[in-house]
Amino acid sequence: MVQVEKSFVHNMFSIEGKVAIVTGATGALGSAVAVAYGFQGAKVVLTGRNKNKLAQLAQWMKDQGCECAYIAGDPANEEDVKKIVKFTADTYGEVNILAVCHGFNAPKSIVEQSVEEWKKIMDADCTSIYLLAKHVAEQMIAQGKGGKMVITSSARSKAGMAGYTGYCTAKGGVDLMVQSLACDLTAKYGINVNSINPTVFRSELTEWMFDPESEVYKNFLKRLPVGRLGEPRDFVGLATFLASPASDFLTGGNYDATGGYWAC
């Protein structure tokens, strides 16, 4: 007899009623994830460093009928991270999903980059995720109901690039952190930890790459079987899947969101 219940299949992608923290919530990918989670009935706590932008997005989401709240904070600051987790638990009673969508890069050759800038990249892209995972894990363990962590890494975690020593190193660290966190947290506490590894998605910073006349665009398309660069909406399916019961058997994975970049 097949052991797949109808009710499981009907609800396996549902995150309705779950409480999600979304970092980098005002960015291109973070806002897409926050809005997508909100439209699916999750209670969303938006966070990032820019309070005005958070307030604007929260108001827009509320106008759309989403349940959300916001709190400003720097994810690389441990006291801020503690406040974000506490605010979420105080506001909605628990934390079920952590979606990490913030990030920073300052592309520069190692011979031109200062050690201070290297540290800033490592703090923003790596240490911040350690702090979020640590304090959210503590909260989820206390709740005793498991949870999901969906961490935005990059395709640049798997290959180096000129000017990207800090960024590639930090993102490579994120992928291994995700694997190690899975070993610590999944079997024992039911907390699944996975990363999404995108190539180029449209954002304020990458908009210039979408010029069809540019060499960068033409070169990228040679390696993209899907035939185009990513739009934020292309990101939300995987971000939902990894937050939902459909991905209960997946942990410690680094999932490609590249339009097939590694295929050719």
The residues annotated as belonging to the active site are 167
**Surface-to-core class of residue 245, CB atoms within 10 Å of its CB (0-12 exposed, 13-18 middle, 19+ buried):** middle
How many Å apart are CA 246 and CA 230, to the nearest integer?
24
- Using CB under 6 A, pick the residue from 98, 124, 236, 238 that binds ligand NAP: 124
Binding mask 51-90 for ligand NAP (x = CB under 6 A): --x---------------------xx--------------
Bridge partners (DSSP) of residue 68 are: 44
Q: Which of 185, 200, 224, 239 binds ligand NAP (CB under 6 A)?
A: 200
Place of tokens 């590249």: 258
Residue of the chain from 15, 27, 44, 239 that contacts ligand NAP (CB under 6 A): 27
Question: Cα(37)–Cα(203) distance, rounded to whole angstroms?
Answer: 19
The answer to whether the beta carbons of residues 136 and 215 sit under 8 Å apart is no
Residue bearing tokens 């703090």: 123
Verify binding: residue 203, ligand NAP, rule CB under 6 A: yes
**Least distance from C-beta 3 to ligand NAP, angstroms?**
37
Residues between 126 and 185 with contacts to ligand NAP, criterion CB under 6 A: 152, 154
What is the C-alpha to C-alpha distance for residues 142 and 254, in angstroms, rounded to an integer?
A: 27
- List binders of ligand NAP among 102-121 (CB under 6 A): 102-104
**Which of the ranges 6-14, 43-51, 215-223, 240-248 carries the binding residues for ligand NAP, by CB under 6 A?**
43-51
Closest CA to 44 of 26, 169, 170: 26
- Residues at the interface with ligand NAP (CB under 6 A): 24, 26-30, 48-50, 53, 75-76, 101-104, 124, 152, 154, 198, 200-201, 203-206
